[in-house]
């Protein structure tokens, strides 16, 4: 059920790989802003002291363009199967740090997705290409936006000074989304590397709920980065950074990274019809979605500035009050019928499967149940990640994200508006809440199902925290490693 590996991917994308080598740069060297030349840095990445992978970045400065090439690799296994993931990116900037173009390739277990983008006028035109998907889109791109892969250049260029705060928009290349990045330079601190002690600036930054702290020299070299949930990246010589030691860490060993203990056990969670609980350590009560299943009853601000909210969650009802007819060709908002890089609902294989599963069934709810049963019965439950619905269909195995991608693609192909949600669900095995994904369908009203568990009516331990596709994953990071749960009524 757990989406631990997806969360790890996000941690690497938002924190441990958002760094670059800046040792050729110092603010005093102006004009030009950057001395001509090339430098590179290697960093080893750890989780609670265990080596997971490495990152590499090379900065090349010419008179007309600044190029940052980076690679992030981390190694995991699940059930003896290699779960290695690689991100390769090349970003080209103007001398004043404006985006020119980028190319990003992500590979997981042989599954590959590529995103290429370039500035055209005041827009970013980008192409997303993966298994069964190849589309070009564009988005308005103000000059103030910085690529997420090179944001530290902007901070160092503007000057490192203790107490300084800043905020500017980032474009997350991996998700093709704009988010805000906030930072504060906390203090100066000595840092020892290879027997030599130097001064570093300690910089806290926050992106879409992901928090991390950087130790950066006056010239801009990152010596260390540490996240709030146990991940750490350290500057190392190439040979040491690339040396991953013995066996890869198992995904199951990282479950505690995202486990939320409620204080006491929940018996027969799949049968729970209603639960009342307190969610604490959240940045704002408005972050918790409310719908026909869950309501925020009250909220209060704590002394540390975070909020606690009492949440009432119900299971899905057993009957659809206002049944609708499928297929529908249009819906508001249209993205719930959309073909995307992760949910290839217009691919011939997905469309053929949808037709086979639902046939001439016009009742949208009955059709959704048929799809739910097929996905539950035909995907093996394993802690392996999938890039997309087609990958899940091809491999016939995966965790909750894989099940949800595939269900969503088939349902949309069948003309049933469907959205993906992320949240928490109770695990009897781990005696706590784990992060989980499931779909909701519009069948005259919104209803939540769970193809991973084979539930047509999700139980009351399903706590929704975010919805949507790419934005869904971003919002989830507001809770990971922070939220606490206390049961009020079990």
Q: What is the pLDDT of residues 33-86, one digit of tens each?
A: 567 788 899 999 998 888 999 999 999 999 999 999 999 998 888 767 777 889
Percent of the chain whose predicted confidence (pLDDT) is above 70? 92
Report the alpha-carbon distance of residue 34 to residue 180 in Å, rounded: 25
Domain shared by 207 and 340, yes or no: no
Domain shared by 36 and 106, yes or no: yes
- DSSP classification of residue 15: I
Report the alpha-carbon distance of residue 341 to residue 324 in Å, rounded: 28
Does residue 197 fall inside a structural domain? yes
Does residue 262 fall inside a structural domain? no
Of the residues 227, 252, 277, the one at which a domain ends: 252
Contact at 8 Å (CB) between 476 and 465?
yes
Q: What share of the chain is helix, strand, coil (3-state, %, to 5)?
A: 20, 45, 35
Domain shared by 106 and 232, yes or no: yes
Domain shared by 333 and 226, yes or no: no
Model confidence at 453, pLDDT cuts 50, 70, 90, reads: very high
- State whether residue 391 is helix, strand or coil: helix
Cis peptide before 68 (omega within 30 of 0): no
Lowest pLDDT segment from 7-11, 94-98, 159-163: 7-11
Report the alpha-carbon distance of residue 286 to residue 301 in Å, rounded: 12
Residue 439: domain span: 269-489
Encode pLDDT of 123-133 as tens digits: 999 999 998 99
Does residue 263 fall inside a structural domain? no
Encode pLDDT of 251-267 as tens digits: 777 777 789 999 899 99
Model confidence at 207, pLDDT cuts 50, 70, 90, reads: confident
Does residue 72 fall inside a structural domain? yes
Of the residues 204, 226, 252, the one at which a domain ends: 252
Contact at 8 Å (CB) between 381 and 452?
yes
Domain shared by 31 and 57, yes or no: yes
Domain shared by 222 and 316, yes or no: no
Of the residues 223, 252, 281, the one at which a domain ends: 252
Encode pLDDT of 133-175 as tens digits: 999 999 999 999 999 989 999 998 888 999 999 999 999 998 8
Total count of domains within the chain: 2
pLDDT of residue 175: 86
State the residue for tokens 């690689």: 86
For residue 434, the domain's CATH number is 3.10.620.30
Backbone angles phi, psi at 183, to 5 degrees: -145, 160
Please say whether the dihedral angle defined by the alpha carbons of residues 113, 341, 411 and 383, taken in this order, is positive or negative.
positive
pLDDT of residue 13: 56
Does residue 261 fall inside a structural domain? no
Does residue 390 fall inside a structural domain? yes
Q: Which residue has the higher pLDDT, 9 or 409?
A: 409
Closest CA to 78 of 322, 316, 251: 251
Contact at 8 Å (CB) between 101 and 118?
yes
Report the alpha-carbon distance of residue 12 to residue 87 in Å, rounded: 9
pLDDT of residue 386: 78
Model confidence at 27, pLDDT cuts 50, 70, 90, reads: very low
Domain shared by 51 and 196, yes or no: yes
Average pLDDT, the chain: 89
pLDDT of residue 410: 98
Backbone angles phi, psi at 345, to 5 degrees: -70, -15
pLDDT at 203 over 60: yes
Residue by residue, what is the 3-state secondary structure of 353-408? Answer: HHHHHHCCCCEHHHHHHHHHHHHHHHCEECCCCCCCHHHHHHHCEECHHHHHHHHH
| Tokens of residue 176, six digits | 């093709």
pLDDT at 208 over 90: no
pLDDT at 353 over 50: yes
Domain shared by 53 and 160, yes or no: yes
């Amino acid at each position: 059920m757990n989406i631990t590996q997806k969360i790890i991917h996000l941690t690497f994308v938002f924190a441990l790989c958002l760094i670059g080598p800046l040792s050729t740069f110092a603010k005093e060297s102006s004009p030009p802003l950057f001395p001509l030349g090339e430098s590179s840095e290697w960093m080893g990445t750890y989780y609670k002291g265990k080596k997971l992978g490495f990152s590499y970045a090379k900065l090349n400065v010419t008179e007309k363009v600044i190029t940052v090439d980076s690679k992030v690799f981390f190694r995991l296994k699940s059930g003896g199967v290699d779960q290695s993931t690689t991100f390769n990116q090349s970003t080209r900037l103007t001398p004043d740090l404006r985006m020119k173009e980028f190319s990003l390739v992500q590979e997981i277990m042989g599954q590959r997705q590529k995103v290429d983008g370039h500035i055209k006028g005041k827009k970013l035109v980008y192409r997303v290409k993966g298994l069964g998907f190849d589309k070009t889109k564009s988005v308005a791109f103000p000059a103030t936006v910085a690529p997420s892969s090179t944001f530290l250049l902007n901070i160092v260029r503007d000057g490192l000074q203790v107490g300084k705060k800043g905020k500017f928009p980032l474009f997350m290349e991996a998700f093709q989304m704009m988010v805000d990045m906030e930072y504060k330079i906390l203090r100066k601190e000595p840092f020892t590397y290879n027997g030599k002690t130097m001064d570093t600036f300690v910089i806290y930054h926050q992106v879409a709920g992901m928090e991390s702290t950087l130790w950066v020299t006056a010239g801009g070299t990152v010596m260390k980065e540490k996240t709030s949930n146990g991940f750490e990246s350290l500057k190392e010589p190439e040979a040491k950074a690339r040396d991953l030691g013995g066996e890869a860490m198992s995904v199951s060993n990282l479950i505690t990274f995202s486990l939320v203990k409620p204080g006491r056990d929940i018996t027969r969670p799949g049968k729970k019809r209603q639960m009342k609980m307190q969610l604490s350590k959240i940045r704002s009560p408005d972050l918790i979605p409310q719908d026909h299943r869950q309501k925020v009853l009250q909220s209060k601000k704590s002394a540390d500035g975070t909020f606690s909210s009492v949440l009432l969650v119900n299971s899905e009802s057993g009957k659809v009050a206002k049944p609708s007819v499928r297929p529908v060709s249009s819906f508001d908002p249209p993205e719930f019928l959309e073909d995307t890089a992760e949910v290839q609902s217009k691919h011939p294989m997905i469309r053929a499967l949808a037709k086979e599963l639902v046939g001439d069934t016009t009742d949208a709810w009955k059709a959704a149940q048929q799809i739910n049963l097929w996905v539950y019965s035909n995907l093996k439950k394993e802690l392996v990640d999938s890039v997309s619905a087609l990958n899940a269909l091809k491999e016939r195995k995966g965790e909750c994200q894989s099940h949800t991608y595939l269900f969503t693609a088939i349902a949309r192909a069948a003309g049933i508006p469907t959205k993906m949600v992320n949240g928490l669900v109770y695990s009897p095995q781990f005696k706590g809440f784990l992060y989980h994904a499931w779909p909701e369908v519009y069948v005259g009203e919104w209803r939540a199902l769970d193809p991973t568990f084979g539930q047509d009516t999700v139980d009351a331990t399903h706590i929704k925290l975010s919805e949507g596709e790419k934005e869904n994953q971003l919002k989830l990071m507001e809770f990971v490693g922070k939220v606490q749960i206390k049961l009020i009524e079990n």
